[in-house]
Amino acid sequence: MPQTYATLAVRPQGDHVLVVTLNRPEVLNAISTQMSREWCELFAGLATDPGDTRCLVLTGAGDRAFCAGADLKERDGMSVDVWRAQHAVFEQGFTALMECPVPIIAAVNGHAYGGGLETALCCDFIYAAKGAKLALSELRLGIMPGGAGTQNLPRAVGERRAKELILTARTFSAEEGAQWGLVNKVCEPGKTLADALETASQIAENAPLAVRQAKKSIHYGLQMDLLTGYRFEIEAYNRLVDTEDRREGVRAFNEKRKPSFKGR
């Protein structure tokens, strides 16, 4: 890591942050079969062995679009069987993104439609450029969201708002998304990636095992009742007690110095 891909640009930012760019600017970074395969490989690999990566920022090439959704030119004329086979690849990619243990910030540098917005929603949280337009627009094409959009959007904005946005397929602004809790921060144009990287660096300074356990506890705990979720939290907590990082964190606090975490 980083590895060379045809549709993704991957580069380290410092020692512990990775920037992944959807790199098909000629088609507004639309998701092709190859792109989905490549990001599945990337994120599944991080799940198996994150190495030194403690946080990741996902963005799009250029300043017009984060991602325009699925590549409809590639899909033009597809048979039903080929379409379903392609979507199975997409499903693996979205699942790998959601299940990646490393925190992922979506730096939505431009418009995000359909599968593009679903991609951002699969990340842990979203920073978006002022003026960016967002939509789950699939119903205009005779289909529906198939990248966990009907699951992630209501979890972000509530059931009733999600129904309105999905069923009308209407476009909304980054500013509206922030009002509804979908977007964490609206950034000045051209500063979205920098703002996301600043937050990623703050995350990367913390103990990586603790960060990944906390992310897991939040993500899966929200799918449980409160007490079951709390029990899950304690199981995650107890895995951190006998770690070098926990001992280093307490030692550094008492010695009044910055801790040096090793992910062990």
Dist CA 141 CA 63 (whole Å): 25
Question: Which are the catalytic amino acids?
Answer: 118, 138
Q: Which residues of 224-252 are buried (b: 16+ CB within 10 A; e: fewer)?
A: eeeeebeebbeebeeebeebebbebbeee
Determine the Cα–Cα distance for residues 115 and 136; give it in Å rounded to an integer: 7
Q: In the structure encoding, which two tokens stand for residue 46, read together? A: 């991080």
Element holding 166 (H helix, E strand): helix 159-168
Rounded (10°) angle between helices 149-157 and 159-168:
130
Provide the token pair at 162.
Answer: 């999600």
